[in-house]
Structure formats: C-alpha cells, structure tokens
Structure 1
Amino acid sequence: MAMWGLIVETTTGSGDRKHIEAEVLAQVRGERAYALARLEKIARNYRPAHPLNHKRRRLFRSGDGFLLVVDGSWQSHATRFTLAELLEDSAAPAEPAAPAPAPVETAVDADGVPKRPSWLRRNDLI
C-alpha cells in the first residue's frame, strides 16, 4: 500500500520579501482516492495568514491536488495543496523485522505419524 504525502506550499511575507514555503502536513498510507479526500478536507478548512483582509477566496482542483487563491486588499496569495507518493525517506523509522517462522517439527512416533503436524504450527501439541 502506498504512502502519500499531503503537502502545502504557501506564499508568505509581502512585497519584496514575498516567497513560497513548503511543509508536509501529514503522511497517509492507503489508496490515492482516500489520501486525496483527506487533502481536500484540509484545503477547504485552511485559513492562510496572508492576506490579512480576505476579499475573495477561490479553491481549484487540479490533477494532484488543489490551489487556493485568496485575494486581499492589495495582493493575492496562493496556497497549493499537493498529493505526492512518498518514494524515499532518509529519516523514516525502521520497519519492524518480520518474525522468524517457527521451526517445523519433524519428530514422529512409533507408527510414523508426526507428533506435531507442521501445518498446525502450534507449540502446545508436543
């Protein structure tokens, strides 16, 4: 199952200091449609810091996410919400090791019948 990053890129600052900053809001494991629905909910509820006085708010859907454009008194600010599949993470926690399979019992009784059939994989039958 794929791991999806819910990413927001938003305009911060104003004037000559206006720039874009990106942040991973969450990571979701599952189907793409589920992750996209989670991203849409975030985009609909997002309230950007800029502009201070909102005159108009428009939310657009694109192939991999959403674009929020908020018009202020003087300037417009854009916030992009992107869904992206996580391919690599250098700081990801280590995957838990799979448990070693139980050894298969091959001992048989005097009649040649296994004391513990291997398909049971139960230790309490010995």
Structure 2
Amino acid sequence: MSTRTTWALVVETTQGIGQRKHMAAEVLAHVEGSREEALAELERRARGHVPEHPSSPRRRRLVRTGDGFLLVVDGAWQTFASRFTVGELLADSDAPPAPEPVAARSAPPPDVPDEPAAPAVAPGGADEPDELDEDGIPVRPAWLGRTGRP
C-alpha cells in the first residue's frame, strides 16, 4: 500500500501598520498528492489572495520562489508582503483519526431506515442552508447575527 504525501499550504502575511507591523502565519489548506499538484494549488490561491493591507493597493507583484510565491503589494504609504510556501506535513496534533480499515470492522452497521435529511437551517433561523467555502467551512460564522448570549 502506498502512502500519499500531504502538503501544507501556508501563507505568512503582514499584519498591522506602522510600528505594529508584524508577520502572521496561517495554514490555508492541505493537499494530498505530488509537490507539483500542491504548488499548482498554492499558485491559484496566491493569485487570488486579497490581503487586509494595504486598503488602497497601488501595485501587485507575484514572484515565484523555490518553495512557493511572494506577493508584494505597494500601498500609498507602505509596502506589504504575503509569502506563500508549500511544505510536507510531518505532524499535526489536531489531525482527525485515520479511518479504520474495512477488513478490521467486526460487524456491519445496523440497518437505518432511509429518512430524508432535515434541511440545514442557517443561524438566526433563516430557511437557507449555510454557505460553505471550498474547504467545507461555513462562510457565515454561527455567532453572526446572534441576539442573545449562550
């Protein structure tokens, strides 16, 4: 059985302004497959990235580096950068457990009557389902629009 490599797509972005400017890192996604596949997905995300700063960009430059991309955005007064890198994921303390092999299961799951699933209800009682981004994360956070405290 061959194992597929899992790649982490990471962006390090300039946060804050002035003397409080600093870099913050975020894992954008994980990609299983080849390094070339991971770099292709990273490039797609780098090209579409819209950083928080500057609020009025004057110029954008995307540069390919050895392990990813560098996005340099000039604003009216300052320049901001976002570094996109791809790296092999070696460990993850919060990774979901690996699925149990099919042969190791002791008994088939009990028969469950086929019932239509209840429609998803958006927070706040709206009758529309939550919109999910490409990673399956709700676009609208559950707390948005909540009127009371839990």
Give the TM-score of the pair, scaled to structure 1.
0.77
**RMSD value, Cα:** 1.2
For 1:122, the equivalent position in structure 2 comes to none
Letter in 1 for 2:60: R
Secondary structure of residue in 1 paired with 2:73: strand
Counterparts of 2:93 and 2:51, CA distance in 1: 30
For residues 50 and 90 of structure 1, the distance between their equivalents in structure 2, rounded to whole angstroms, comes to 31
Alignment identity in percent? 58
Question: Structure 2 stretches of 5 or more lacking a match?
Answer: 106-150
Q: Show the counterpart of 1:77.
A: 80
Size of the aligned set, in residue pairs, is 101
User: What residue number does 1:14 align with?
Assistant: 17
* Aligned partner of 1:60 among 58, 63, 71: 63
Q: How does 1:45-124 map to 2 (within 5 A)?
A: 45-98=48-101, 99-100=103-104
Q: Which one scores higher on RCO, CA 8 angstroms, separation ≥ 6?
A: 1
**Residue aligning to 1:25:** 28
Mapped partners of 1:64, 1:24: distance in 2: 15
* Structure-2 separation of matches of 1:83 and 1:25: 10
Give the Cα separation in 1 of the matches to 2:10 and 2:45. 10
What do the CA deviations read for 1:25-82 (whole angstroms, capped 9, x no partner)? 1001111111100000000011111011111110000011000000011100000001
Letter in structure 1 aligned against 2:40: A
- Secondary structure of 1:91 counterpart: coil
Question: Over alpha carbons, which structure has the higher Rg?
Answer: 1
| 3-state SS, counterpart of residue 54 of structure 1 | coil
TM-score normalised over the length of structure 2: 0.65
- Match for residue 35 of structure 1? 38
SS at match of 2:40: helix
